[in-house]
Amino acid sequence: MGIFIQILLVLLTLLGVGIIVYTRNIVHAAYALCLALVGIAGIYVILMSELLAVVQIMLYAGGVVILLAFGVMMTNRLRGDKVISGSNNALIGAIISLSLFSALAYLISNANFRTANIDHNDQIREIGISFLTEHIVAFELIAFVLLVALVGAAYLAKMAGDE
Amino acid sequence: MNEEHLTYYLYFAAFLFSSGVFVVLTKRSAIFVLIGVELMLNGANLVLASFSQYDHDMKGQIFAIFAIVITVCEVSIALAILLNIYRKTRVSNLDELREVGN
> Domain locations in chain B?
3-96
- Give the mean pLDDT of chain A: 86
Q: Which residues are CB-contacts of A157 (< 8 A; sequence separation ≥ 6)?
A: B80, B83, B84
Residue pair B23/B36 in contact by the 8 Å Cβ criterion: yes
pLDDT of residue A161: 65
Q: CB-based contact (8 Å) between B39 and chain A?
A: yes
Rounded to an integer, what distance in angstroms lies between the CA atom of residue A66 and that of residue A56?
14
pLDDT of residue A81: 63
Helical H segments across chain A, by residue range: 2-22, 26-46, 50-55, 65-75, 90-110, 123-132, 136-162
Other beta carbons within 10 Å of A82: 10
pLDDT-derived band at B16 (thresholds 50, 70, 90) equals very high
pLDDT-derived band at B2 (thresholds 50, 70, 90) equals low
pLDDT of residue A79: 61
Across the interface, whether the CB atoms of B83 and A145 are under 8 A apart is answered no
Residue pair A75/B86 in contact by the 8 Å Cβ criterion: yes
Q: CB-based contact (8 Å) between A159 and chain B?
A: yes
pLDDT of residue B17: 95
User: Is ipTM beyond 0.90?
Assistant: no
pLDDT(B47) > 90: yes
pLDDT-derived band at B22 (thresholds 50, 70, 90) equals very high
* Residue bearing the bigger pLDDT, B2 or A144: A144
Q: Which residues of chain A fall below pLDDT 50?
A: none
CATH class given for the domain over B3-96: mainly alpha
Mean pLDDT of B41-45: 93
Mean pLDDT of B26-43: 90
Q: CB-based contact (8 Å) between B56 and chain A?
A: yes
Task: State the best of A10, A50, A60 to mutate against chain B, taking most chain B CBs within 10 Å.
Answer: A60
- Give the mean pLDDT of chain B: 86
Option in A64, A108, A146 nearest B14 (CB)? A108
pLDDT(B18) > 70: yes
Q: Which residue of A has its CA nearest to B78?
A: A153
Compute the count of residue pairs across chains A and B with CB atoms less than 8 Å apart: 222
- Give the H or E element holding residue B26: helix B3-26
**pLDDT single digits (tens) A18-53:** 999 988 888 888 889 999 999 999 999 988 888 899
pLDDT(B58) > 90: no
Task: State the best of B40, B71, B72 to mutate against chain A, taking most chain A CBs within 10 Å.
Answer: B72
